[in-house]
Copies of this chain bind each other. A is one copy, B any other.
């Protein structure tokens, strides 16, 4: 069905979340487009990221809850144990379901999917294996892949990334989690809840993308409850007869394997971009306009994780849609980006809303704080660990962002994210009802704390 020697309105490269979103949007406007995909279908989200990681966290949190049984009159928790192979199998069963749904979602346009690796010959001419395609616009949505630091190259049989973790038949007894970004923190906590002896190592002091030192400290205290954490660690690895010794300064610990989550690199190799002469950054990512997603001065667009920025699904999907619209209608007024929203699904969950780096360095911004150690609902459910900081303009209380680790933090984050996208003030938030007894009352405390500072200002 695919016509060659013909000019397409658009070619999308990559059938992941961003590419699918772009392609579906394009098909609202034209049938004259194809989707090029190398290798098996199924998104990163469904295969190795969002879905299987949240499944493993679900199992781990379920198991961790047994610790609350004795104080609530529930007997017998000493007989509970988790079988790693079965737990991993359950995760894969769910993952396969989500991968299948993603692929089924492509049924209506599968004759427009071309299997192969795309390479630019000119900005409007693409080679896919032995075929040549002419196109008015191209959207690159090839995603990214985990990077393994060279230090670990010699030990690769014991190095696990998010690409491998959910394929494992069993879990090691002792593991070092390298890198405490979102993926590292989630998996370190999941593994530690399941009973794996976890050493978590981070090169820097800051966890995730958190900028606020008090929130960072709140997270660190929680992680420390179930694992050993080394921050700011310049570590080395030494192989032993059985396992490895990891050292940093005068600390040392033996482990059996490594879960490496130090970062990802965009899949842009061998695409011929360099030969096109498009301007690029040091990671080989072309400069592009973050609103139109267009690569400066060319009919090429970027979307999703390949941009090496905001690698989260709702952004990938939104970027795909925006890239598609601007690829088809170059003169269309660009739509605004979402305010930044990042959630880490630990227990309690962590979130970052808005431009918190800006908020924290700006003197005209105040911080409304709430601590959860004595928060009603949190105490009642024995999960009274956490902290919310909201940032607002000192003069009018306009919400600028928030950082938090608190029970049900993922939901508090959506509430604040709606507020941010509607340019609400702290006073607006306090005009809405906060039900009792809820975690949202903790947010109310932070809002009231901010309001007091506004009045004082």
Q: Could you tell me which A residues sit within 8 Å of B by CB distance?
A: 45, 50-51, 54-55, 58-59, 62-63, 65, 68-69, 71-77, 79-90, 94, 97-98, 312-315, 318, 338-339, 341, 343, 376-377, 379-382, 408, 410-415, 417-422, 424, 428-429, 431-440
Contacts of A415 in B (CB 8 A): 411, 414-415, 418
A417 CA to B411 CA in the complex, in Å?
A: 13
The residue from B62, B76, B312 contacting A72, defined by CB atoms under 8 A apart: B62
**A339 nearest in chain B by CB position:** B433
- The oligomer's copy count stands at 2
The CA of A75 and the CA of B194, in the complex, are separated in Å by: 13
Given contact pairs A410-B438, A421-B428, enumerate 14 new A-B contacts (beta carbons under 8 Å): A50-B437, A54-B381, A58-B381, A59-B72, A62-B65, A63-B69, A73-B88, A73-B90, A74-B80, A74-B81, A312-B435, A314-B436, A343-B435, A408-B411
Q: Which of B55, B314, B381 contacts A435 (CB 8 A)?
A: B314
Query: Quick check: B435 and A410 within 8 Å, CB to CB?
Result: yes
Cβ-defined contact, B76 with A79, below 8 A: yes
Q: How far is the CB of A55 from chain B (nearest CB, A)?
A: 5
**Which residue on B lies nearest to A17, using beta carbons?**
B436
Q: Chain B contacts of A431 at CB under 8 A?
A: 421
Dominant secondary structure of chain A at its interface with chain B: helix
Whether B59 contacts A73 by the Cβ 8 Å rule is: yes
A61 to B446, CA, bound (A): 29
Shortest CB–CB separation between residue A166 and chain B, in angstroms? Answer: 13
B58 contacts A71, CB within 8 Å?
Answer: no
A-B contact pairs, 19 of them (CB 8 A): A50-B436, A59-B74, A62-B72, A65-B65, A73-B89, A73-B90, A74-B81, A74-B82, A74-B83, A76-B79, A79-B80, A98-B376, A98-B380, A318-B433, A339-B433, A343-B438, A418-B432, A420-B432, A422-B432
CB of A75 to closest CB in B, whole Å: 6
For residue A50, which residue of chain B has the nearest CB?
B437
**Complex alpha-carbon distance, A415 and B77, angstroms:** 36
A90 and B76 contact, CB distance less than 8 A: no
**A98, A338, A410: which has the most chain B beta carbons within 10 Å?**
A410
Q: How far is the CA of A428 from the CA of B424 in the complex (A)?
A: 13
Chain B residues with Cβ below 8 Å from A58 are 72, 380-382
Neighbouring B residues of A341 by C-beta, 8 Å = 433, 435
